[in-house]
A = this chain, B = another copy of it.
Amino acid sequence: MSERQRRTLLEDVAREAGVSTASVSRVLNQAPHVSERLKAKVESAVARLGYVPDGSARALASRRIGAIGALVPTLDNPIFGTMADNLERQLKGHDCRLLLATYRYDLDDELQALRTLVQHGVDGIVLIGHEHHDQTYALLQQRQLPFVTSWQTSTTAQGPCIGFDNAAAARQLVQHLLGLGHRRFGIITAPFGQNDRARARLQGFTDTLTAAGCPAPQIEVVDYGIAEGAAACARLLTSDRPPSALLCGNDTLALGALLEAQRRGVRVPDALSITGFDDLPQAAFMTPALTTVSVPAKDIGIQAADALMGWIRHGHRPADITLEAQVKLRQSTGPVPD
């Protein structure tokens, strides 16, 4: 066949349409002050030639790449999958792409990942939580890069924030259990050294317990996973004075705990109450259905996209948004056993 031919360029479209390259560019970018006639000529030439603009060249010349970056701890946790999914879909509606990077809860890795995203020239950034490397904030600041933080209401307000109050929801769970007469609590939490959401939840738990004058809870710190939750539950149940209520930092740990309790013949909620956090799809379907907190993962994705695009396109820095995290009282919690 014909030898590998040159791709169609904007210049070719201009020639074909009998106009200047600037005009073609204007039509393509929906610039103001373009006559209908010009628009029609260009569009037909584009169609005739099957022209596809080159993103790199456009990015270099315009200094926007049409993509934002998201830094998430991991996609192995479906709650972040849900957020990322909705973020990406909403961005698509704004004609924007998603560059995704994960950092396994390691804030050094996060900084590293941010650097490469910045290098790529992303137009904005979505961050999870407020705790980040100082240099992370410094880089964002220095580049004047629009960014939002998420998943946790702002306390320090380094940037616009789209989140919910983890501590308050945790408090509500404890209050619910206190109301049921519980006094001896166990807590299973993910490592919270680099994770302010986990820390806020834990703080919500312990503060409320302390305020109510309960004995100090036993705290198990374990990695994410059903097996990890189960093991932690086993340790708590076999301790000297086993708790009557188990507060878990997320649903996955709670599911592990629930299954372990059942395996040991400990009846939930009769002998042991268990709470989760996240409201994963399966939480409502367990027997007993899991008392937990429904986190607005979907909304965070959507609102983050809208907020960021508004900032990037129209320059107005978005306001903080506080979303609701609803406590779902279900069957895994009940009155304290006699």
Contact = CB atoms under 8 A, between A and B. Distances in A.
Given A76-B82, A255-B282, A56 B66 contact: no
A52 B118 contact: yes
B255 A121 contact: no
Interface string A73-111: 011111011101100110010000111111000000000
Q: For chain A, what secondary structure do more than half of its interface residues adopt (helix, strand, loop), or is it mixed? A: helix
A211 interface: no
Contact of A54 (B54, B75, B101, B119): B119
A74 B67 CA distance: 19
A99 B102 contact: no
A85 B92 contact: no
Interface residues of A, number: 54
User: Which of A55, A66, A113, A116 has the most chain B CB atoms closer than 10 A to its own CB?
Assistant: A55
A287 B268 CA distance: 14
A120 B55 contact: yes
Contacts of A89: 102
Contacts of A54: 60, 119, 121
Contact of A259 (B82, B92, B101, B287): B287
Nearest to A74: B85
A67 B102 contact: no
Nearest to A117: B97
A59 interface: yes
B78 A97 contact: no
A186 to B, nearest CB: 19
Interface in A116-163: 116-121
Contact of A230 (B53, B78, B285): B285
Contact of A75 (B88, B97, B227, B282): B88
Nearest to A57: B60
A251 to B, nearest CB: 10
Interface in A262-282: 262-263, 281-282
Nearest to A59: B56
B256 A285 contact: yes
B88 A52 contact: no
A65 interface: yes
Contacts of A60: 54, 56-57, 59-60
Contact of A121 (B56, B84, B281): B56
Contacts of A116: 97
A225 interface: yes
A124 to B, nearest CB: 15
Contacts of A121: 54-56
Contact of A55 (B80, B85, B119): B119
A226 interface: yes
A102 to B, nearest CB: 6
In order of increasing CB-CB distance, the 6 nearest A-B pairs are A81-B81, A75-B85, A56-B59, A55-B120, A78-B78, A75-B81
